[in-house]
Copies of this chain bind each other. A is one copy, B any other.
């Protein structure tokens, strides 16, 4: 197959995709077609992985009792996180909506197999973190592919990861990386919710690039 040439029109639309990709916490409850989810997962697995190790493990969480346990896990972790802030910042934190667990039709837990065999250890002797980072790039691939379908993804990181393996009945040595909500967003936005809510702003990019 000849290599595709990506043109300016595609690049402009890709830039729009990056611009309009959001961490979504406001979902409609409409279902997402199972075949679409499978297609997105296949795309996510085109992500780079160190030594072609493909250490990603995807768990579709469907049973209501499991989802409720994750919601309770979030609630406890978020209460502990909220207790860290004081004064006006505490008020602002309490007003933030930080997950859409109850509305999102698809729950996806993502793990890394820390010793996957595949890849034979190549590329990760000096920087072992690259194994987990491969899973992170697959999640990011899923995120972009989902947005291109009009789907929103929200990464719930305010969770105690320790109980997730037994809760989801997966091998104890897998490393929990992410708990993702996937569904149709209530609205599109070109600004992160945390920016809209006045929690944080975009940094000027110039200050983050150095020459040596």
B23, B41, B125, B160: the one within 8 Å of A81 (CB):
B125
In the bound complex, do residue A148 and residue B6 qualify as a contact, i.e. CB atoms below 8 Å apart?
yes
- Report B-chain residues with C-beta under 8 Å of the C-beta of A63: 212
A60: CB under 8 A from chain B? yes
Instruction: Tell me, yes or no, whether A26 is within 8 Å of chain B by CB.
Output: no
A60 touches B210 (CB 8 A): yes
Measured between beta carbons, the chain B residues less than 8 angstroms from A158 are 123, 125-127
Instruction: Give the 8 A-B CB pairs with smallest separation, nearest first.
Output: A3-B188, A52-B200, A18-B46, A137-B140, A133-B136, A6-B148, A52-B194, A81-B125
The total of chain A residues at the interface (CB under 8 A) is: 101
Among candidates B13, B157, B177, residue contacting A50 with C-beta atoms closer than 8 Å: B157
Q: Is the CB of B160 within 8 A of A126?
A: yes
Flag if A200 contacts B4 (CB, 8 Å).
no
Q: Which residues of B contact A93 (CB under 8 A)?
A: 122
| Complex CA–CA separation, A62 to B150 (angstroms) | 41
Chain B min CB distance to A205 (Å): 5
Bound-complex Cα distance A123 to B93 (A): 11
Given contacts A6-B148, A52-B195, A205-B42, contact A126 B23 (CB under 8 A): no
| Docked complex: A106-120 residues within 8 A CB-CB of B | 118-120
Given contacts A137-B136, A210-B60, A212-B168, whether A127 and B157 have CB atoms under 8 Å apart is yes
Task: Give the residue of B84, B136, B150 whose beta carbon is less than 8 angstroms from that of A121.
Answer: B84
